[in-house]
Amino acid sequence: EENGHQHKRLKRDADEEDAEDQNKKSPKRKIVLLMAYSGKGYHGMQRNMGSSQFKTIEDDLVSALVQSGCIPENHGEDMKKMSFQRCARTDKGVSAAGQIVSLKVRLIDDILEKINNHLPSHIRILGLKRVTGGFNSKNKCDARTYSYMLPTFAFAHKDHDVQEEVYRLDKETLEKVNKLLACYKGTHNFHNFTSQKGPRDPSAKRYIMEMCCGEPFVRENIEFAVIKVKGQSFMMHQIRKMIGLVIAIVKGYAAESIIELSWGEEKVDVPKAPGLGLVLERVHFEKYNRRFGNDGLHEPLEWTEEEEKIAVFKEQYIYPTIINTEREEKSMVNWLNTLSIHDFNSSVVGMQANNKNSK
């Protein structure tokens, strides 16, 4: 009997050692994770090492990766060790329905379920795919699509007294909004749409593929609309400023000519719309898919099977957060009240004076 107990104990010790060996041996693989999250209450996506008072999405993600056993603890402290790269750095309060991160992990059983068990419900991993060893989600991404959900009363003319819940966007105003948004298409110098670049910085030139506002819809008695924009890459605050300027023009605070003017070297005062409605919708890997998507070893980075899960997550976590926060905190209403402080005319007057002088 005693021998039997000893045998069991030895077997248990051997099993534990095997599991440890297995962990050491189980090779790490390069994968991508498809993430969705509601960004309210977070200081953006990217982790700020050494500044723990500003919680980010990556803080929660790395903690879940360690707790689920996909990565060793020291990889959480030094993210380079797992070749971690996010596709887009979303700003404070911004949500995502299709963020992609690439990293090396141990491919444990039921990996998605285990990671999600250690994440709050407003952050979900919706999909996983194996990728090439040298894959980097930021460098290999050739375009990003964002959406911006806003209450349509943002487009009501400043001279009209507007009841927010009663306002409905008419066809002419929507056409005007779309005509202005279309001006952004193509390659332009967006130095006036971020605080980080000077007018002669070559990296301020950005390529916008499409930008338009969809048909309005009513939620909780307020009418909303969604603006979609697809571009190669965006600078900090760029999309919020692009939308902010269009709102200023439609409301009658700024002349239409100011968009054209903003591409020039002059400093233009461009207002920045609130971060609340901004959502990273999806990221595109068209070149990678052409090269590796059908090589027999790797799958294309398309997420058609996950579309339904993405839609459900948006309905459950992203849209209600935007709508309820707008109702409670009135971020759009408060921001619209600041538009009158901006000085849009000085830029236009300055430009006219320059034109006269050059003539």
Distance of alpha carbon 173 from the chain centroid: 27
| pLDDT averaged over every residue in the chain | 89
Fold agreement (28-140, 143-289+301-352): yes
Does pLDDT of 323 surpass 80?
Answer: yes
Does pLDDT of 49 surpass 70?
Answer: yes
Look up the CATH number of domain 28-140: 3.30.70.580
Say if residues 111 and 128 touch (Cβ distance below 8 Å).
yes
- Most confident option among 33-42, 43-52, 156-165: 33-42
- Please state the residue numbers annotated as binding site: 146
Say if residues 348 and 255 touch (Cβ distance below 8 Å).
yes
| pTM assigned to the model | 0.86
- Please state the residue numbers annotated as binding site for substrate: 146
Distance of alpha carbon 235 from the chain centroid: 12
Backbone region of residue 41 per phi and psi (left: phi > 0; alpha: psi in -120 to 50; beta: other values) = left
- For the stretch 70-128, pLDDT in tens is 999 888 788 888 999 999 888 888 999 999 999 999 999 999 999 999 999 999 999 99
The mean pLDDT value for 294-308 works out to 90
Please identify every residue annotated as catalytic.
91
- Close Cβ partners of 109 (under 8 Å, ≥ 6 residues apart): none
Distance of alpha carbon 346 from the chain centroid: 33
Say how many CA atoms lie within 13 Å of 350 toward its Cβ: 14
Delimit the domains of the chain by residue range.
Answer: 28-140, 143-289+301-352
- Close Cβ partners of 13 (under 8 Å, ≥ 6 residues apart): none
Q: Are strands 278-284 and 95-106 parallel, antiparallel or unpaired?
A: parallel
Look up the CATH number of domain 143-289+301-352: 3.30.70.660
167: phi then psi, degrees, rounded to nearest 5? -60, 135
Say if residues 303 and 309 touch (Cβ distance below 8 Å).
no
Distance of alpha carbon 68 from the chain centroid: 25
Helices (H), 160-306: 171-182, 238-250, 257-262, 286-292
Amino acid at site 98: G
Say if residues 321 and 331 touch (Cβ distance below 8 Å).
no
Q: Pick 255 or 352 by higher pLDDT.
A: 255
